[in-house]
């Protein structure tokens, strides 16, 4: 007979959203079990590791790799346009995640790694990969863009971008994030994000163009080598999916069990930039607060809070993304279209 655990809250996924939810719920007095399929928090890293200045958090300070002062955007092969005072931080994402998990653990959450969700029944009973069953009054789904918790309540991220990223050596110090826009990069963009003496060089495309990922990234790498900006060695590889379809329904029920979604599972990723760490942390904290309300029998405003915070910016980004994708149906977008589809240009913010 498999072990049956009972808890107030089950948090599925212990990335920034899940760890933040676990901490907030535990600090409110809830019994929290958190699980993640990874063996170690944040490893492997599947992230470009840029954190906008808007998120102030001790975990970000502990994991700082370097400060970012500006953004440089290249449209096709033109000289880059500088967006001054575009401040942020490059972080060590593995350490960032580990710090958030350590805070959840310190608050009293039972954080389990190497434990994945094998099944979630219609009445909210979770079966883990080792056969353990968990009954909880609330489930927080923070299990990424292809969330199994979200699928269980019919909230599925149906629009994704596939990414590929390598780590390369920088030839000279750099304090800007570099963005590369091209009609060849369908549904995404290229990036070079510096972190000290190395950088994350990556590219994302719509899933139907994933076969182009490697040759496009190889071409961008060759260009930057020829320009003398990066070394030839590839120091690491990563990649993954990013949800780009806007907000999902963030709550539902499975039997008597309340379900909340946070972070990528809730579609809280900017459909143009792919940025999602601040929204993950913020939504996780809000989910943890909502858990406390649910357990005490009080009403909560979780979905409304997410709408207030994120809906306007995500709606604009989604509209711009779809406008740009529509251009491919009748040929290719031109440089004006690419500028309208990127946050650095006034056209993006125009009506």
Instruction: Answer yes or no: is 80 within a domain.
Output: yes
The residue-averaged pLDDT of 175-197 equals: 97
* Same domain assignment for residues 54 and 40: no
CATH number of residue 272's parent domain: 3.50.50.60
Distances in whole angstroms, Cα of residue 333 to Cα of each of 166, 181, 342 = 27, 11, 13
Q: Are residues 277 and 308 in the same domain?
A: yes
Q: Per DSSP, what are the bridge partners of residue 125? A: 135
Residue 59: pLDDT band with limits 50, 70, 90:
confident
Q: Are residues 164 and 200 in the same domain?
A: yes
User: What is the domain range of residue 121?
Assistant: 4-46+93-158+245-316
Please check whether residues 166 and 227 belong to one and the same domain.
Answer: yes
Tell whether 226 and 287 lie within a shared domain.
Answer: no
**Does residue 347 form part of some domain?**
no
pTM score above 0.85: yes
Q: Is residue 348 part of a domain?
A: no
pLDDT at 329 over 90: no
Query: Hey, which bits of 57-159 come out as E strands?
Result: 64-68, 70-75, 81-83, 88-91, 110-113, 117-120, 125-128, 133-141
pLDDT digits (tens, 9 = 90+) for 78-110: 999 999 999 999 999 999 999 999 999 999 999
135-174 pLDDT tens trace = 999 999 999 999 999 999 999 999 999 999 999 999 999 9
Taking each helix axis from N to C end, the angle separating 302-327 and 277-295, rounded to the nearest 10 degrees, works out to 150
CB-CB contact of 49 with 195 (8 Å):
yes
Please name which of 291, 297, 295 lies closest in space to residue 25, comparing C-alpha atoms.
291
Count of structural domains within the chain:
2
Residue 192: CATH number of its domain: 3.30.9.10
pLDDT bucket at 124, cuts 50 / 70 / 90: very high
């Amino acid at each position: 007979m498999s072990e049956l655990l009972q808890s107030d809250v089950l948090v599925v996924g212990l990335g920034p959203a899940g760890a933040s939810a676990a901490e907030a719920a535990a600090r409110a007095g809830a019994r929290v079990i958190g699980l993640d399929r990874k063996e170690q928090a944040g490893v492997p890293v599947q992230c470009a590791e840029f954190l906008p200045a808007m998120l102030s958090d001790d975990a970000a300070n502990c994991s700082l790799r370097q400060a970012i002062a500006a953004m440089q955007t290249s449209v096709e092969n033109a000289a880059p346009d500088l967006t001054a005072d575009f401040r942020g931080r490059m972080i060590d994402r593995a350490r960032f995640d580990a710090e958030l998990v350590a805070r959840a653990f310190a608050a009293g959450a039972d954080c389990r790694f190497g434990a994945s969700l094998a099944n979630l029944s219609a009445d909210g009973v979770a079966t883990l990969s080792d056969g353990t069953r968990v009954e909880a009054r609330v489930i927080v789904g923070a299990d990424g863009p292809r969330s199994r918790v979200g699928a269980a309540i019919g909230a599925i991220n149906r629009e994704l971008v596939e990414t590929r990223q390598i780590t390369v050596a920088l030839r000279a110090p750099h304090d800007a994030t570099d963005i590369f826009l091209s009609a060849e990069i369908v549904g995404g963009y290229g990036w070079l994000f510096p972190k000290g003496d190395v950088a994350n060089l990556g590219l994302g495309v719509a899933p139907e163009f994933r076969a182009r990922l490697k040759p496009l990234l190889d071409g961008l790498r060759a260009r930057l080598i020829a320009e003398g900006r990066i070394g030839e060695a590839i120091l690491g590889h990563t990649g993954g999916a990013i949800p780009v379809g806007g907000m999902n329904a963030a709550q539902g029920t499975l039997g008597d069990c309340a379900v909340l979604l946070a972070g990528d599972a809730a579609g809280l990723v900017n459909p143009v930039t792919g940025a999602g760490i601040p929204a993950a942390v913020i939504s996780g904290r809000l989910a943890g607060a909502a858990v406390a309300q649910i357990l005490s029998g009080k009403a909560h405003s979780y979905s409304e809070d997410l709408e207030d915070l994120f809906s306007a910016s995500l709606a604009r980004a989604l509209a711009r993304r779809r406008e740009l994708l529509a251009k491919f149906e009748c040929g290719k977008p031109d440089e004006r279209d690419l500028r309208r589809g990127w946050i650095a240009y006034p056209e993006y913010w125009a009506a």
